[in-house]
Amino acid sequence: MNPHPSIDSLVAHLDAPASAVGSHLDACSECRTRASRLAGGLALIDEAQRTSIPPLPWERMESVLQDEAARLSVEIRAGRLRPVRVVPAWVGGALAMAAGVALVAGVQAWRHHEAAPSTLAHRVLPAATPTTAPSLAPQAPRVDGVVLLASGGALYQAPSEAGVPLARVDVVHEGARVETPGAGRAVFTVGQGWTADLRARSALQLARLRDDRADLTLEHGEVALAPAAGETRALRLVDGPWSVEAHGAVMARSEATVLRVVVLAGHVDVRRDGGDALTVTGPMVVELPLDGGAPVQSSAGASDPAALDLALFASQRPLALIPDVDPSAALTLRDQGALPSALEAARFAQPGVLEARRGATAVRLDLASSEPPRWTPVHPTAVVAARAPTLHAPTEIPTPARAADPVDARIAAFEHNVPARLQRCFDNCREQNRCRAPMQGQVRFDVSADGHAVIRSIDASAEGARSCLVNQAQFLPAPRTDSGFTFAMPYRFAE
């Protein structure tokens, strides 16, 4: 006799009789019994599907819920409960990428200050379809931008409306205009995967923010544009007769007679009046005469300080405050924009000197130096970890005591960094109602000597975040120590 058919085979046989299984059943009473039981069970499932749900006492329930609704309404109107601001998840990555590309490229450019400019790489491409051509095709869905940073009186102006001050996490729409005064700055997402950083005394028209493409018109001033990691769609910047289609990070500055484009990474396709394209591969600076004259490679080159302005950093006060940024975003210095997410802590050690930490390495950037500034390693204990503990809304920079022992300093820096890395677990848990209110307690960790962190215990209110926390814990950059250590991370969320 054939071997007994599997459960799956029996289920399949009950659904559509199979001769092999059927002949086995004819000869095997044991399998007939199994099939009979299974048939009963499957019929149960059918019956359960058809079973109607018993009526519930909705009226009684509604009266209970009405009381709660009334209480919540009062709380909301009194401003004690506020909606979460909507920031797309990719924004953090975009911001980090934008800042990372800009800073890394900037430092690279400074390093190669003396290098001879490379030759202009170009090729002729077919003419682009004019953007203004009428089309019967349906418009791609709009993708509004989100403001990541707004300072110094940046203004937002919707069509035919007066300008309003721009604030972080505001949403900007297609057709609007963003303008920055003398000390202003606005960083916001553009399209699906780009970030625009509008510098002081600049104005930018958001001509098109669609899923398939985004077009910006630089009216005057300077803007830096950077794609998120993996972004393949181009971003188009228009100024006068020129259209610059960026396929990598660029900075553009509209001057009196030229549009200067600094290609930091990737390449741009430059078109005049929708005509043939000139491809410029970075790092490179190209000047586009606004009278429509022939484009020229800038004599300044991509390493020109005027093209990539780091002077902003040098003129700031000695201590940079850290605003309560989205923890998934990069570290942001108030009025300064973002730093690469790889930099875990940063501060101005003194005017013009930025100190930062990346993992166990501390680095320093002396912006006031007469030499081209570059990151140089410094002794770890010289850096004060200054990243905000984002689980508590920060109002001031915490200033942890400097530890004399480098190991203690590394542990202190690690503990300081953990809340930001785990924030998302708590956010998701709250949003999905898997955590219990009031959310207050501790998560305790054991860190082995070789730097592996594991969760030892989680207080009941955050139990719903356990799987996320356990998962994230294995990626925490814990320092190696002689004998390992334990620590507790407190958390508290206001209701």
Partner 1 sequence: MATVFAPRLSGLGARVTRDEDGTPAYVRQAREGDARAFQELFRNHRRDVGRLVARLLGPRPDVEDVVQEVFLQVFRSLQNFRGEARFTTWLHRVAVNVTLMHLRAARSRPRLGQELLDEPAAPDGSSPVDEAARNQRLRALYRILDTLSEKKRAVFILHDLDGVPAGQIAATLDTPVLTVRTRLFYARKEVYAAMAGDPTLESIARELASPEAAAAAAESPQ
Binding site for partner 1 (CB under 8 A): 7-8, 10-11, 29, 32-45, 47-49, 51-58, 61-62, 64-66, 68-70, 72-77, 81-84, 86, 88-89, 428, 430-434, 437, 464
Q: Which is nearer to partner 1, 39 or 397 (CB)?
A: 39
Helix or strand holding residue 258 (H, E): strand 258-263
Q: Which is nearer to partner 1, 61 or 229 (CB)?
A: 61
| Beta carbon of residue 122, minimum distance to partner 1 (angstroms, whole number) | 42
Q: Give me the residue label for tokens 């399949």.
A: 12
Q: Which is nearer to partner 1, 251 or 429 (CB)?
A: 429
Q: Which is nearer to partner 1, 40 or 138 (CB)?
A: 40
Q: Which is nearer to partner 1, 64 or 124 (CB)?
A: 64
| Beta carbon of residue 40, minimum distance to partner 1 (angstroms, whole number) | 3
| Beta carbon of residue 168, minimum distance to partner 1 (angstroms, whole number) | 16
Helices (H), 401-446: 406-431
**Phi, psi for 135 (deg, rounded to 5):** -140, 140
Tokens representing residue 25 in the block = 């059943």
Beta pairing partners, 447 = 453, 485
Q: Which is nearer to partner 1, 86 or 256 (CB)?
A: 86
Q: Which is nearer to partner 1, 45 or 294 (CB)?
A: 45
The 3-state DSSP class for residue 427 equals: helix
Q: Which is nearer to partner 1, 51 or 129 (CB)?
A: 51
Q: Which is nearer to partner 1, 282 or 327 (CB)?
A: 327
The 3-state secondary structure of 113-127 reads CCCCCCCCCCCEECC
CB-based contact 328:423 (threshold 8 Å): yes
Q: What is the rounded CA–CA span in Å between residue 190 and residue 485?
A: 44
Q: What is the rounded CA–CA span in Å between residue 220 and residue 203?
A: 5
The DSSP line for 274-339 is T--EEEEESSEEEEEETTS---EE-SS-TT-TTTS--HHHHTS-SS-------TTS--EETTTEE-
CB-based contact 330:99 (threshold 8 Å): yes
Using CA atoms, how far residue 370 sits from 42, 92, 109, 366, 479, in Å, is 81, 34, 15, 9, 36
Query: Residue 406: is the preceding peptide bond cis (ω within 30°)?
Result: no
Helix or strand holding residue 253 (H, E): strand 250-254
Q: Which is nearer to partner 1, 58 or 475 (CB)?
A: 58
| Beta carbon of residue 12, minimum distance to partner 1 (angstroms, whole number) | 11
Contacts for 33 with CB less than 8 Å, ≥ 6 apart: none
| Beta carbon of residue 205, minimum distance to partner 1 (angstroms, whole number) | 22
| Beta carbon of residue 388, minimum distance to partner 1 (angstroms, whole number) | 21
| Beta carbon of residue 143, minimum distance to partner 1 (angstroms, whole number) | 12
| Beta carbon of residue 437, minimum distance to partner 1 (angstroms, whole number) | 7
Beta pairing partners, 454 = 446
Tokens representing residue 122 in the block = 């170009």
Q: Which is nearer to partner 1, 76 or 127 (CB)?
A: 76
CA angle 443, 346, 465 (to 5 degrees): 20
| Beta carbon of residue 39, minimum distance to partner 1 (angstroms, whole number) | 5
CB-based contact 235:255 (threshold 8 Å): no
Q: What is the rounded CA–CA span in Å between residue 363 and residue 370?
A: 18
CA angle 233, 97, 143 (to 5 degrees): 45
| Beta carbon of residue 89, minimum distance to partner 1 (angstroms, whole number) | 7
| Beta carbon of residue 217, minimum distance to partner 1 (angstroms, whole number) | 24
Q: What is the rounded CA–CA span in Å between residue 217 and residue 240?
A: 9
